Amino acid sequence: MSELLNIYTMNGIRLNNRVVMAPMTRSRAYDLIPTDSMVTYYRQRATAGLIVSEGSPVSMEGRGQAYTPGIYTDEQIEGWKKVTEAVHAQGGKIFIQLWHVGRSSHIAHQPDGQAPVSSVSRVAEGCTTHIPGDNCQSVRVFHSQPRALATDEVPRVTQDFVRAAKNAIEAGFDGVEIHAANGYIFEQFINGGLNDRTDRYGGTIANRLRFTLETVDAVSAAIGSHLTGIRIAPFGRLQDMHGFDDEQDTWLSLGIELRRRHLAYVHLSDQESLGAQAIPAGFLTKFRKAYEGTLIVAGSYTQARAEMALREGVADLIAFGRPFIANPDLVKRMKNGWPMAVPDKDTFYTGRDAGYIDYPTYHVD
């Protein structure tokens, strides 16, 4: 019997299986509004138990990549409605990932060319992003110099997430995932190797977690904790993140705090698959004890590894990223033992429909 393909109830939300389509930036929203091709893309993959959309900026300030669809204008809400309707028509469930990249940005993305914001004014050394270029192509550039948010500005960013969450529910999403991984704005506050603030958002573990938890609480109050998830990447090193002395205690403390909030889920990402440091051996078991709600894990899982993780009880749902790019019928292929197609890396973030919605489903001869 396959645990992976079994029905699962996620804090009141019934999922057809335990397969999650992980959030993946695809950079196809050339005017920052979801497109008809995006409707097709998500509809093709709606047999996943849960889809988590690509990161959707909560504001202009939150942007950091070219051609990413936002969730802060009426036009974007209307565009996303077409996506959610298409997924629901196929019997699927979809959460939107709410995104603010903080310092991982460039002035070309910012309102009036202003500096990106962060916990500190330190640039992410050697890190790059993409800005719009000619003919819907993108140009790789180094991150711009950020500025540190003033203490009284931090709640403003939290309110951007609240507005985006309300917009997401209006657009028909089944819930939201707060993106607190990959070196973006929340991790820029959580990480003790970067955050050297001396106000209520810096110093102790409780202070460094404050912004994240205030945002989780505000979003939960606005739309319901059962519709609120969060993605984290313990020991993450992307976007010039570094280790720090109380790193394990920080993440386990966050797990304990999130357990008390009865969220839809926590989505834990192991960045080894992205070329970064792996989560240390044994940490996942410790986190599982600290956080007792629905746990999604991601990180280059095969079907076999996913089944093992479920049987061992270290996770409730398993997220797959790149396999969903080339296999829109991934769940059906898993069920039948059919071979997996390999995605074209050259079209992950470029092009229009090629490498996006033209991957075929598997046909039996």
DSSP 228: E
Say whether 360 sits in a helix, a strand or coil: coil
Distance CA(76)–CA(3), nearest Å, equals 37
DSSP-assigned letters across all residues of 131-167? EE-GGG-EEEEEPPPPEEPPGGGHHHHHHHHHHHHHH
| Contact indicator for 327, 340 with CB cutoff of 8 Å | yes
Please indicate whether residue 184 is annotated as part of the active site: yes
Amino acid (1-letter code) at residue 318: I
Runs of H (alpha helix) within the chain:
36-44, 74-89, 154-170, 185-190, 205-223, 247-259, 283-290, 303-312, 322-326, 330-336
Distance CA(46)–CA(337), nearest Å, equals 19
Distance CA(318)–CA(297), nearest Å, equals 5
Cβ neighbours for 246, distance < 8 A, ≥ 6 positions apart: 192, 205
DSSP-assigned letters across all residues of 255-302? HHHHHTTT-SEEEEE-GGGGTSPPPPTTHHHHHHHH--S-EEEESS--
Longest dimension (CA), the chain: 66
Q: Which residues pair with 338 in a beta bridge?
A: none
**Candidates 8, 72, 184, 356; catalytic one:** 184
Distance from the Cα of residue 360 to its chain's centroid: 26
Q: Which residues are catalytic?
A: 184
